[in-house]
Chain A
């Protein structure tokens, strides 16, 4: 069994957001990028857990992004992935989740995969759209918000649990497949120093995005984004809570219900 994990490098969640001069994007000048999306780390851990538990052949990592995204792939290699592929985008190239899914699909066609894993969503655009779109482009089933996963190799079936409103569904489906992992069985491991050093020497192949143009052009949507950001804005900073003064709990309750009804109009 071969597992392919798709990771995305995102800005550090603590980073101070500023709008780029174009007014259409985050100003990435001086922004610190995290090694990896938090949800991807949980997903990579799940892939490594399965490799160890079920004796899978390999875990390979794939990402689409600019040259700096190599850091995210090296971090994934340091966690324990065997090889990595970066689809390298030139500076300023615009992507959207479905275009990214098409690029991943074109690159994945040349990488062995029985399971393709993605995280719940990326912490920057929060779209959570790549997984099931990738399934469509690869002609594979997709299963989202998976919380438990056991492959049964003999029958080519996955036994899974997935989140749904108010509970979880225990279900099964065939693989090869694309899965979005909501949470894994274990907390993500922290790479050790020896493994970080080893990761520098593991194979990492770079594919210029142009090399995939022919393959992507025949997919629905083509070699271009099908959505465009026309503005990126930051809300005015919250001014802090209006503090309600009170002497007794009853007075606190009365004042709060009054403002919620009359001022905020949410009751």
Chain B
């Protein structure tokens, strides 16, 4: 019998997002860890031909597709129904992985409820033993504690972005099978999207970016915030801010990192001119490496940071931008 891990990807914007690539890569590692098994990509949505080709390059054994006009707008209910149509195509369904994106976070519990399966969101580690038992780790209490969970049934897991390595694309031509959506229950019908409003232009999304550069009131005025954006640009990073910056109207609320804003977990977080109020720290403690730049060496941010520069962000930011630009060459 072949154990199967089904990976439901998120391609709301027309291609496989970073977090979906992490889920596909981690599924391969977990399958290997459990002594072999197949990784099946599940593509659910409408107008998926380009994404199917993208999924085929990700080292998966098979691709299952539910491509239907009724799935054009995201409805957790309809998408859960669609994924459930794929389960009979697996010899021995073993686990279902999703990215912990906005879509995955909503879909995973709904799917878990539909299947009556153990469900965990925002997992950061997955272990499988050869007997098939799945345990996961997740951060709780704003990153101040870690819990290990054992899950029953065919576990449904959403994987926190930036927590798993992404494998390079692999050659191969895995078979693609299309599955009919069929009739949907009433609660899975009737969602219509009028429009999508972009709030961030070309910069990466805060919750998914590998690097985030944030600015605070230490930048003195809105005209200096561009220094944060310049450094972010050369690093390919997302831009965030403290609550004070949003309250002062320098930047819109979508920039705010912290308890009442975005909770992020990048590989590298650079806080410039941010003193480190508790409500901000809660949003960043899961970052792998934290750099603090602040004039006040006693600022609380230095207690949680890995590296500290006690100095003026207004001079250090431009120096960093210049050096990164130089090191990248012409």
Residues of A participating in the B interface, judged by any CB pair closer than 8 Å: 11, 13-14, 17, 26, 38, 96-98, 101-102, 123-137, 139-145, 161-174, 180, 183, 219-222, 226-235, 238, 240-244, 246, 248-250, 252-254, 256-257, 259-260, 264, 266-267
Closest to B303 in A: A240
Contact, CB under 8 Å: A165 / B208: yes
Q: Are A144 and B118 in contact (CB under 8 A)?
A: no
Residues 112-152 of chain B: 1 if any A CB is under 8 Å from the residue's CB, otherwise 0? 11111111111000000000000100111110111111111
Cα–Cα, bound, A170→B197 (Å): 7
Decide if B32 is an interface residue (CB 8 Å cutoff): no
For B144, list chain A residues within 8 Å (CB). Answer: 17, 234-235
CB within 8 A of A142: which of B106, B147, B195, B315?
Answer: B106
Q: Do A227 and B149 have beta carbons less than 8 Å apart?
A: yes
Cβ of A129 and Cβ of B109 under 8 Å apart?
yes
Q: Which chain A residue lies CB-closest to B208?
A: A165
Given known pairs A163-B102, A233-B146, the reply for A13 and B259 (CB within 8 Å) is yes
Partner among B107, B150, B291 whose Cβ is within 8 Å of the Cβ of A228 = B150
Contacts known (A123-B141, A133-B109); A260 close to B116, Cβ less than 8 A: no
Distance to closest chain B CB from A226 (angstroms): 4
Q: CB-nearest residue of chain A relative to B192?
A: A172
Instruction: Give 14 pairs: A residue, B residue, CB < 8 Å, sorted on A.
Output: A98-B109, A132-B109, A145-B105, A165-B12, A166-B199, A168-B196, A170-B193, A226-B152, A227-B119, A229-B148, A230-B149, A246-B311, A253-B316, A266-B289
Q: Least Cβ distance of A131 to chain B in Å?
A: 8
Q: Does B66 have its Cβ within 8 Å of any Cβ on chain A?
A: no
Whether the Cβ atoms of A13 and B278 lie closer than 8 Å is yes
Known: A127-B121, A227-B120, A227-B150. A133 touches B113 (CB 8 A): yes
Min distance, Cβ A133 to any Cβ of chain B, angstroms: 4
Question: B74 contacts which chain A residues (CB < 8 A)?
Answer: 169
Given A144-B76, A168-B197, A170-B194, the answer on whether A98 and B112 have CB atoms closer than 8 Å is yes
Q: How many A-B residue pairs lie within 8 Å, measured between CB atoms?
A: 279
Tell me the bound Cα distance from A205 to B251 in angstroms.
45
Tell me if A135 and B307 are in contact (CB < 8 A). Answer: no
Q: How far is A221 from B116 in the complex, measured between Cα atoms in Å?
A: 4
- Which residues of chain A are near B320, meaning CB under 8 Å? 252-253, 256-257
How many angstroms between the C-alpha atoms of A188 and B112 in the bound complex? Answer: 32
Complex-state Cα separation, A244 to B316, whole angstroms: 13
- The residue in A11, A124, A129, A256 that gathers the most chain B C-beta atoms within 10 A of its C-beta is A129
- Chain B 65-86 interface 0/1 with A at a Cβ cutoff of 8 Å (1 = within): 0000000011111001000000
A242 to B302, CA, bound (A): 9
Q: Are A227 and B152 in contact (CB under 8 A)?
A: yes
Residues of the A chain whose Cβ atoms lie less than 8 Å from the Cβ of B12: 164-165
Residues of B participating in the A interface, judged by any CB pair closer than 8 Å:
12-13, 17, 73-77, 80, 101-103, 105-110, 112-122, 135, 138-142, 144-153, 155, 185, 187-200, 205, 207-208, 211, 259-260, 267-268, 278, 282, 288-292, 297, 302-312, 315-316, 318-320, 322-324, 327
CB-based nearest B residue for A222: B116
Measured between beta carbons, the chain B residues less than 8 angstroms from A174 are 189-190
Measured in the bound complex, the distance between the Cα atoms of B77 and A260 in whole Å is 44
Cβ-neighbour of A232 out of B145, B191, B195, B259 (below 8 A): B145
Residues of B within 8 Å of A241, CB to CB, are: 290, 292, 302-308
Q: Which residues of A contact B304 (CB under 8 A)?
A: 238, 241
Once A168-B196, A243-B308, A266-B268 are accepted as A-B contacts, the answer to whether A227 and B118 lie under 8 Å apart by CB is: yes
Inter-subunit contact B302/A253 (CB<8 Å): no
Contact assessment for B316 and A98 in the assembled complex, using a CB-CB cutoff below 8 Å: no
Cα separation A40 to B110 with both chains bound (whole Å):
20
Docked-complex contact B106 and A257, CB < 8 angstroms: no
